[in-house]
Structure 1
Amino acid sequence: MRFKNKNISAFILIIKFIWLLCFQQATLAAETKNPVSHKAHAIAMHGQPKYPANFTHFDYANPDAPKGGVFKRAIVSSSGFDSLNPFIVKGVPAAGMAYLGGGYIYDTLLVQSYDEAFTKYGVLAESMEWPEDRSWITFNLRKNAKFHDGHPITAEDVVFTFNLLTEKGHPLYKTYYHNVKTVTALNSYSVKFEFDTKTNRELILIVGQFPILPKHYWETHDFTKTTLEFPLGSGPYKVSKVEPGRSIHYERVKDYWGQNIAVNKGHNNFDTLVFDYYREPSVAIEAIKAGKYDLRAENSAKSWATEYNTPAVKEGRLIKASVTDYTPAAMQSFIFNIRRSKFKDPKVREAIGYAYDFEWQNKTIFYDSYTRIDSYFAGSELAATGLPSEAELQLLKPFKSQLPSELFTKPFTLPKTDGSGNVRNNLRQALRLLKQAGWQIKNKQLVNEKGEPFDFEILLTQANFERIVLPFQKNLKRMGIEAAIRKIDTQQYVARRRDFDFDMIISGFPQSNSPGNEQRDYWHSSQAKIKGSRNYIGIENPVVDQLISKVIQAPSRTALITSTQALDRVLLWNHYVIPQYYLNQNRLVYWNKFSMPKQPPKYSVGLNTWWYDPTKAKKLSKQ
């Protein structure tokens, strides 16, 4: 049938109208089902952000801080660094090259406020839009943001970076962003993240944490290899000098695009940042006393007590300062690799814990400065204490048959001594547990029913940990256990830890006031066999997996506290580690040529808000 031209035109118009009507109805239905309910400059995990949209700077930063000067710090490492690519498993990255967060040279979509538990404010993102159920988020980028070569930062760079990190980067990225379903550039300056869950409240915050990389740069570089080529960034600093394994210098970008936005005001005040590498802590201590660098974070109680009794400290030229740390303490501990058959039985792990005499060590070696750490979230409201609360029991009772019965009837406690060094009673208890697990003493050696001896290796990379391990080794020997101490360089250590090629290591599990997806990387079964994950222990426990989900999906602060306490309790009662100690202070030693804001941040030392003070420096040089 042949139509006249006017009839064809009318027909086409009708079809277009019907299509447009259907599209509008579909769009309206989608928006009605999942409408935008928030558009803001910041996102809080729970409650509302502290700072309004028109805020000019964080309270803990001085917006008038002068720029200038050099800030030198020391890194103690037996083998230095070999890469400026921190985003992959290979290599040892240089200090300041952060793999999560921007470090010094990369910008991120959002940045943390350090006087709130968990609130993020826009850096590259000028504003964000999201629905009530937090099932997606759109970031609207600042149109003046650019990389150091002048190339604009666009939504395409965000999509490219996310795919690159999760497909070719460190396994952490794939785990951390497990629930991200799609990332789409809506236009040049808007990018949308969609999730496969509506119960993970923190996802809209943590998808703003990764550094945004330049697509045009990495398309012509091999992302999977270590490199010492200076990378292209977008942040307040750029790499200016590298002496492989010895030092790295960062130069402040004078025309940094983001220097005047509120989150950056009063930050990044030094013209040059330098990280010098030292092989031994003792050499680094002598170097700061000689003025070779500016600031040292001291982690040795002995050194803090004995190494800084110098005229410079007494005269106030070299400052010793303890800054209170309000974040949960990292669980520093002897970590079992339970992939090893001899460590699979929780009774064996509990028994070995009796050989660690914290009280004697604290009194004899640590100058009574530490507290025994007895929680994976020590020093915070997230830590499990006493018996399980009614709220915790609601989470734990469904798993009662899979948990130690004592978890429900006894508070978790660690073995104690009188500090005299006499651990005979503890060793008796340890041997009872070992006997129950099928081990017994024969000819002063602990053996199993096959006559195989109980021996293992403790892997170290820091020489100052030997004085902690030696008394532990001695007590294990009294139990008939041979524990060899092996010290290796940093590169070997990183490689062996990455490959889970160890029996026992000393390490920690850093925590925040708002735990979430990172718990999956620490403890989830899915990570036990992924090399490079932080499930160093090798945990494959379905109860732990379920409780991690409860933490991630917590709908309120109260629910988050309860689920975290339950997770903490289960981890403790499985004796995956031998807890050591912690200090809720950051111990700093620095030369008195810097100034800092009157109000420090609550959840950070705040070094990024310090500035070089010429008046103090001049006075210091004359003394």
Structure 2
Amino acid sequence: MAQNYFSGVKNTARLSTAALALCALAPMAHAEPTHGLAMYGAPELPADFTSLPYVRADAPKGGKIVTGEGGTFDSLNPFIEKGNVPWQLRYLMAESLMMQAYSEPFSLYCLLCETVETDEDRTWVEFTLRPEAKFSDGTPVTVEDVIWSFETLGTEGNGRYASLWSQIDSVEQTGDRSVKFTFNTENRELALLVATRPILKKAYWDDKEFTKSGMDQIPVTSAPYTVTDANPGMFIEMTRNPDYWGKDLPVMQGQANFDTIRFEFFADPSLVIEAFKAGELNAHREFNVQTWQDQYDFPAVTRGDVIKSEIPHQRPTGMTGFAMNTRLPQFADWRVRQAMIEAFNFNYINEAQTENQQTRITSYFSNSPLGMRPGPAEGRVKELLEPYQDQLLPGVMEGYTLPETSGREIDRGAMRRALALMEEAGWTIQNGQMKNADGQLFTFEILLMVGDNENQSIIDTYTQMLNQLGIQPKIEVVDKPQYIQRMGKFDFGMTPVRYGTSLSPGNEQYAYFGQTAADQPGSRNVAGIKDPVVDAMIAKMLDANDREDSLAATRALDRLLTAGRYVIPLYAWNESFNAHVKELHYPEPLPLYGDWIMWREMTWYWEE
């Protein structure tokens, strides 16, 4: 019987190399080793696949990709709370046991592991490491490294790792290259989440403090790229390791093609596009459709030296907009939040910002089968929500749609609806100002970050609309470190928010919308959502045994979030705009997820 080294997440884990050597291989009933895992059913690719379907397997190696980022950084350790770290490092610096395929909703294929096993109910999962897996310094990736990584990340690392660690009952070595995780929670996604956590080198940290932030603590990992040059707040350069251990694996064919990946940083984000036009960068994502139409006619584009690529995707829109902080009494009432949505004249703002070229987000999972259906709840969705009928806000069962606005600068119909809602909630205009019966002024602070020019422009227009209601919010524009600090304490009234959602939503929904996360400093539950029915639908989604049940729970969740009126929705991004030099190419066919996390850095290639 295998010895258990990590039993109960509240116990202090003790690990010794000698003890690990004593472990014996445990028998696994009703399980077989396999090459991949899918959230539901079997993964699409067979065991003998030669490459992922959305890569160019024979893509040439060489060249560089240079992109720009607004803001700054002061640390190169993306796995801890402390420090300001470029978000890309979390994905480029470390490998996991398995790799996600962007051609499927949520399927994983073996990377550091050679095989994976799990039972039918996914109460445990076991991985056997590849014997050839090595860190960038040439040392092997061991089971000890895997166990140490999970314990350390779960107890000392960034808060995003704590939730998974709390749901792991035990981690044990079951063979020379095998490790088994047993869960204390019924959640089919946990096996896949374990498979995607970063694996670090234990020995590197033996004489170092893991939680210390800085430029000299660069975690040693097994990834194809390593940080080879960096200047705080200026640039980071990563170089492809010519001795990368996994370059011949099927999952890595046609990936990690560039010799160099470089990120340039600009304190003023508006300078990124100027740097691209000047040739300092060779690739740039544009997020404003009007800018895409108007400002990409510079000489390099005209000559054909720069290509404009519009890349569609089939993933949900997620939610982009302005979140209202429901922790504050001003926004605790759904009628006030609806009034804020009514006062937001989207048609007028869309015309001013994009000449009406952008569509609006209609729900958290719109643009996908996961999105709520129009009209009243039906079928399985209705069954899931009916037990909570007395707790539901108007619009959940009946159906909720965003208000239509006229497109005129002052939409009197929208203003009348907003005023009526504010009055129902106890607020009326008194001497030109919105106040309650006690004479308390209705106001709040809108928190923005320096350089966020588009949202600044939208908010400037929106506040003029609010002034028509006797509401004069305070706009506070702060630098990035201050913004991060204040967001960590939820010190704002309204602020921009972006929730990206996948085709297989899972445990991250608790982090975005769960009750527990609402009071956790620095959590992604920006609006402070505390709805037990939301938690119940997330649990239903995670406990589903098939895709249909998961789909119904997700649509029910979508209804709860949208009718909760927590965010004023903005534009739907159903395609991405990429400008790049002609030597940079992307493979086709496009993945289901389109231009998704690290797709550009990992699958594009340089060809003269």
Q: How does the TM-score come out when normalised to structure 2?
A: 0.92
Matched, 1:195 2:189: no
Q: Distance in 1 between matches of 2:96 and 2:533?
A: 35
Aligned match of 2:213: 226
Does structure 2 retain, via aligned residues, the 8 Å contact 1:201–1:552? yes
Aligned match of 1:620: none
Residue pairs, 1:488-527, within 5 angstroms? 488-527=478-517
1:312 Cα shift? Answer: 2.1
Q: Distance in 2 between matches of 1:264 and 1:453?
A: 59
1:597 Cα shift? Answer: 2.4
State the Cα deviation string for residues 120-160 of structure 1 (Å, max 9, x = none).
00110110111111110100001111112222111111111
Does structure 2 retain, via aligned residues, the 8 Å contact 1:157–1:213? yes
Q: Distance in 2 between matches of 1:311 and 1:216?
A: 52
Aligned match of 1:312: 300
1:278 Cα shift? Answer: 1.8
Matched, 1:38 2:26: no
Q: Distance in 1 between matches of 2:396 and 2:300?
A: 52
Instruction: Using the TM superposition, name which of 249-258 and 335-344 deviates more.
Output: 335-344
Report the residue type matching 2:497 in the other structure: S
Aligned match of 2:8: none
1:324 Cα shift? Answer: 0.1
Does structure 2 retain, via aligned residues, the 8 Å contact 1:83–1:228? yes
Aligned match of 1:12: none
Work out which of the residue numbers 99, 103, 120 in structure 2 matches 1:115: 103
Q: Return closer, same or farther for 1:186/1:381 CA change in 2, 3 Å cut-off.
A: same
Task: Give 3-state SS (helix, strand or coil) of 1:231's partner.
Answer: coil
State the Cα deviation string for residues 207-247 of structure 1 (Å, max 9, x = none).
11111011111232222222111331210000001110111
Residue pairs, 1:241-256, within 5 angstroms? 241-256=229-244
Larger Rg: 1
Q: Return closer, same or farther for 1:282/1:534 CA change in 2, 3 Å cut-off.
A: closer
Q: Distance in 2 between matches of 1:420 and 1:526?
A: 42
Aligned match of 2:289: 301
Work out which of the residue numbers 204, 218, 238 in structure 2 matches 1:217: 204
Q: Distance in 2 between matches of 1:340 and 1:586?
A: 35
Task: Give 3-state SS (helix, strand or coil) of 1:297's partner.
Answer: strand
Work out which of the residue numbers 78, 87, 90 in structure 1 matches 2:82: 90
Matched, 1:395 2:389: no
Aligned match of 2:261: 273
Work out which of the residue numbers 478, 483, 502 in structure 1 matches 2:468: 478
Task: Give 3-state SS (helix, strand or coil) of 2:195's partner.
Answer: coil
Matched, 1:261 2:261: no
Aligned match of 2:19: none
1:178 Cα shift? Answer: 4.1
Does structure 1 retain, via aligned residues, the 8 Å contact 2:151–2:165? no
Does structure 1 retain, via aligned residues, the 8 Å contact 2:229–2:236? yes
Task: Give 3-state SS (helix, strand or coil) of 1:111's partner.
Answer: strand
Q: Distance in 2 between matches of 1:289 and 1:427?
A: 43
Report the residue type matching 2:215 in the other structure: L
1:83 Cα shift? Answer: 1.1
1:548 Cα shift? Answer: 1.1
1:95 Cα shift? Answer: 4.4
Work out which of the residue numbers 568, 579, 587 in structure 1 matches 2:569: 579
Q: Percent identity?
A: 38
Report the residue type matching 2:457 in the other structure: R
Aligned match of 1:69: 63
Report the residue type matching 2:387 in the other structure: P
Task: Give 3-state SS (helix, strand or coil) of 1:132's partner.
Answer: coil
Aligned match of 1:443: 431
1:501 Cα shift? Answer: 1.6
Residue pairs, 1:422-441, within 5 angstroms? 422-441=410-429
Aligned match of 1:207: 194
Aligned match of 2:593: 603
Q: Distance in 2 between matches of 1:371 and 1:525?
A: 31
Aligned match of 2:407: 419
Instruction: Using the TM superposition, name which of 578-587 and 85-94 deviates more.
Output: 85-94
Q: Distance in 1 between matches of 2:562 and 2:229?
A: 45
Aligned match of 2:547: 557
Report the residue type matching 2:88 in the other structure: G
1:512 Cα shift? Answer: 0.4
Task: Give 3-state SS (helix, strand or coil) of 1:460's partner.
Answer: strand
Report the residue type matching 1:149 in the other structure: D
Aligned match of 1:157: 145
Report the residue type matching 1:54 in the other structure: D
Paired residue total:
577
Instruction: Using the TM superposition, name which of 594-603 and 84-93 deviates more.
Output: 594-603
1:280 Cα shift? Answer: 3.0
Does structure 2 retain, via aligned residues, the 8 Å contact 1:305–1:367? no
Does structure 2 retain, via aligned residues, the 8 Å contact 1:176–1:518? no
Instruction: Using the TM superposition, name which of 220-229 and 341-350 deviates more.
Output: 220-229
Does structure 2 retain, via aligned residues, the 8 Å contact 1:297–1:586? yes
Residue pairs, 1:337-348, within 5 angstroms? 337-348=325-336
State the Cα deviation string for residues 431-489 of structure 1 (Å, max 9, x = none).
11111111111111111122111111111112331111111111111111111211111
State the Cα deviation string for residues 50-85 of structure 1 (Å, max 9, x = none).
2111111112222221211121011122xx011111
Does structure 1 retain, via aligned residues, the 8 Å contact 2:324–2:495? yes
Does structure 1 retain, via aligned residues, the 8 Å contact 2:318–2:363? no
Report the residue type matching 1:37 in the other structure: A
State the Cα deviation string for residues 384-435 of structure 1 (Å, max 9, x = none).
12221221111111000111244323x2111111212222111111111111
Does structure 2 retain, via aligned residues, the 8 Å contact 1:280–1:463? no
Instruction: Using the TM superposition, name which of 584-593 and 212-221 deviates more.
Output: 212-221
Instruction: Using the TM superposition, name which of 62-71 and 250-259 deviates more.
Output: 62-71
Does structure 2 retain, via aligned residues, the 8 Å contact 1:177–1:207? no
Report the residue type matching 2:386 in the other structure: K
Gaps of 5+ in 2: 1-23
Q: Distance in 1 between matches of 2:155 and 2:142?
A: 20
Does structure 2 retain, via aligned residues, the 8 Å contact 1:105–1:237? yes
Q: How does the TM-score come out when normalised to structure 1?
A: 0.90
CA RMSD, 1 decimal: 1.7
Q: Distance in 1 between matches of 2:581 and 2:456?
A: 30
1:339 Cα shift? Answer: 1.0
1:176 Cα shift? Answer: 4.0
Q: Distance in 1 between matches of 2:88 and 2:513?
A: 27
Report the residue type matching 1:416 in the other structure: E
Q: Distance in 2 between matches of 1:330 and 1:316?
A: 34
Does structure 2 retain, via aligned residues, the 8 Å contact 1:108–1:212? yes
1:609 Cα shift? Answer: 1.4
